[in-house]
Amino acid sequence: MGGYTLTENAPLASRNTLRVNARAKLLAELRDASKLPELLDFPAVRSAPLLVLGEGSNLLLAGDFDGTVLAMETRGVQVEQDGDTARIAVAAGERWDDFVRWSLGQGYAGLENLILIPGTVGAAPIQNIGAYGTEVAEFIESVEAWDTRERRVAQLDRASCAFGYRDSLFKHEPGRYIVTAVRFALPRSRELRLDYAGIREELARMGVARPAPFHVAEAVVHLRTRKLPDPAVIGNAGSFFKNPVVGAAQAEALKRDHPELPAWPQADGRSKLSAAWLIEAAGLKGSRDGDAGISNRHALVLVNHGHASGGELWAFAQHVIATVAAKFGVRLEPEPVVVGAR
Ligand code: EPU
C-alpha cells in the first residue's frame, strides 16, 4: 500500500552486514520507485540527510544516522532479446547474486566471475563491483536514477557513469543520484576470464577441461567460500580497504624491499598493490581490539566478532590505516561507505 512505509527511530542492526546496532531517525522502505519523488518531498525527509540502503553490505554505520535511511526494496526484471544479446532492466532492490544466478540459468554469459557478491543490483554500479578479473561496468548499458538536483529521472549511459576501479560518477557526486534501475547487455557467450589467480587451478580440481560460464561461476563460489568470511556467520562488509594505486617509483622502491608484494601494473604506468598483503605483513591479520578486528581468513576484511559498535569498528580501521602507513608509507582508503564518523 502506498509504495512505501515510514518508521521513526528504526533499528538498523539487521540492515547492515557488519551488524552494527545503530538507529535511523527515519526509515523509509520503498517498494515502488515511481513514489520516490513524493517520498523525498516530505518535509521531514527534505530537511535531513539521506542514506540510500540496499543490503547494507558495503556500509559502516560509525554512529546513529540522524536523517532518513531509504531502503530500496523495489523488484522486477525485464528482458528484451536483441539477436544474441539480452537487454535486461533490473530494479535497484533486486539481490545481485539472485540476478547473477538467474542470468546464468537463462544461458547468458558475462556475470559468472561476479557470483556470490553480497548487495543489491542498485548498489552494483556505485562502486563498480568487481572480482576475479571482471568489473560490472563492462555489462552495464545504462543506469536509471532519480536526479535529486534536477528533480527528474536521468538515464545515464555507461560513459556518463565514469566507471573506474571501485569508482563511478555516483561516488563523485554523492547524494545527487538515487539509482532506481540498471540496464545490462548480456551476450549468449563470451571469451571466459580465467586468468585471475586460482580460477584455472579450481577448474582443474573440479575436473573441468572445457569450462562453460556456469563452471567458472562454480569455481568462483569455491574460491570465495574458502577465502572470504561469510557475513551470515561473522559480521563483515567484504573488502574494507581498496587496493592502493601508487606511482611507479614508489612501487619499485617497495618491490625492492619486499619482492613478494603482489603488484599489478596499470595502463597509466602506476601500480595497484595488494592491500591484503600490506595488512598481513604489518602483522594485523587476525588481530582485534575487543570485538572489532581483521579477519583471520582474509586481511582485507574488517570483522565484528559480536558486539562491536560502529565507532569501535571505525577506530580499528583507522588503526590499520595508521599502522600500514607507518610501515610502508602507503595510505589505505576504506572501500565501503562510512557514515556518522566523528
Ligand atoms: N593476500 C594476502 N593476505 C590475505 C589475502 C590476500 O597477502 O589475507 C594477497 C595474496 O598474495 C593474494 C593477493 O593478496 O594473491 C590478492 O588477494 P585476493 O585474490 O583475495 O584479492 P584482493 O585484491 O585482496 C580483490 C577484491 C575482492 C575480490 C578479490 C578477487 C578489492 C578491494 N577487493 O581482493 O573484492 O573478491 O579481489 O577478485 O579490490 C570486495 O570488494 O568486497 C571484495 C571482496
pLDDT in tens, 315-328: 999 999 999 999 99
257 neighbors 296 (Cβ within 8 angstroms): no
* Residue pLDDT, tens place only, 30-49: 999 999 999 999 999 999 99
Position 341 scores a pLDDT of 84
What's the rounded Cα separation, in Å, for the pair 18 and 302?
A: 8
Ligand 1 within 6 A of CB of 65: no
Angle subtended by helix axes 213-227 and 96-105, to nearest 10: 150
Instruction: State the CATH architecture for 4-72.
Output: 2-Layer Sandwich (3.30)
* Residue pLDDT, tens place only, 276-303: 999 999 999 999 999 999 999 999 999 9
Q: Which fold has domain 235-339?
A: 3.90.78
Please confirm, yes or no, whether 271 is among the known catalytic residues: no
- Is pLDDT above 90 for 306? yes
Confidence of residue 340 (pLDDT cuts 50, 70, 90): confident
Q: Is 3.30.465.10 the CATH classification of the domain at 77-187?
A: yes
Percentage of residues in the chain having pLDDT higher than 70: 100
Confidence of residue 2 (pLDDT cuts 50, 70, 90): confident
- The cell numbers describing 195, all together, are 586468468
Q: Please identify which of the residues 103, 239, 274, 295 carries the catalytic annotation.
A: 239
Which one-letter DSSP state was computed for residue 63? Answer: S
Ligand 1 within 6 A of CB of 304: no
Please confirm, yes or no, whether 75 is among the known catalytic residues: no
Position 1 scores a pLDDT of 58
- Is pLDDT above 80 for 171? yes
- Is pLDDT above 70 for 130? yes
- Is pLDDT above 90 for 74? yes
Position 204 scores a pLDDT of 98
- Ligand 1 center from residue 58 Cα (angstroms): 16
- Ligand 1 center from residue 122 Cα (angstroms): 23
pTM to 2 decimals? 0.96
Closest Cα partner for 144 from 30, 70, 34? 34
Number of DSSP helices (H) and strands (E) in the chain, helices first: 9, 20
Residue whose CA lies nearest to ligand 1 atom number 31: 242
Ligand 1 atom at minimal distance to the Cα of residue 281: 7
Please confirm, yes or no, whether 57 is among the known catalytic residues: no
Domain ranges of the chain: 4-72, 77-187, 235-339
What's the rounded Cα separation, in Å, for the pair 308 and 164?
A: 32
Task: Match 579477519 to its residue by C-alpha cell.
Answer: 295
Which one-letter DSSP state was computed for residue 110? Answer: S
